Amino acid sequence: MRVVNLPAKDDVIRELRVGEPVLLNGVMVTGRDAAHKWMVETFIKKTRAPKDEDLYVYENLKKLLNGGVIYHCGPVVRKDEQGQYTFVAAGPTTSIREEPYQADVMKHFNIKGVIGKGGMGAKTLQGCQETPGVYLHAIGGAASYIAQRVNKVLDVFKLEFGVPEAMWVIEVKDFPVVVTMDSHGGSQHALVDDASKKVLEDLLAQPY
């Protein structure tokens, strides 16, 4: 089991290969559909003008995501009487919804890891090779266990998107993932897709 401390260096990322289990330590940021759309439209394609508070968030994200990880997660969060947040559940969200945005976001912010479930497509795989970066598969159905790997909620941005879509800044310890897309063009998801298509073709070719 390899331990990767965040932020991660390029040479560490290039050492990771498809199938390798990893424990992550450090700070990461959650982000789903609303966050990715907002980042691309406001700061990459610049199709909408940023608000003053957007610029503040952007400056923070540039520091947090440089060499860091973004996690496709819509957490269940509890707020105590002192106003402190705690993650109750933190399971991964299906990642393919971010396929139109992910490579651009990775390259713009120098993101080294994307965590989610279900894998991503060719555009993101190309982004992993160019940035470089990796796609990391988290454990589906283990939301409570994963939440226990979150030591502290450090901050939250874009809470107006709603709790699941907000960008939560979290500190994690021994956060378990598996590399399923690497910086060398390897993709476990592509292999599974190809194998599934072959099985389907064989089934359809059988006489009835």
36 is catalytic: yes
Question: 40: which DSSP letter?
Answer: I
Indicate the helix (H) or strand (E) that contains 89. strand 85-89
Q: Measure the CA–CA gap between 163 and 74, rounded to whole angstroms.
A: 7
Q: Measure the CA–CA gap between 124 and 104, rounded to whole angstroms.
A: 9
Question: 51: which DSSP letter?
Answer: P
Which of 36, 72, 137, 189 is catalytic? The answer is: 36
Kindly compute the dihedral angle of the four CA atoms of residues 93, 98, 103, 109, in this order, to the nearest 10 degrees.
-70
Catalytic residue annotation? 36
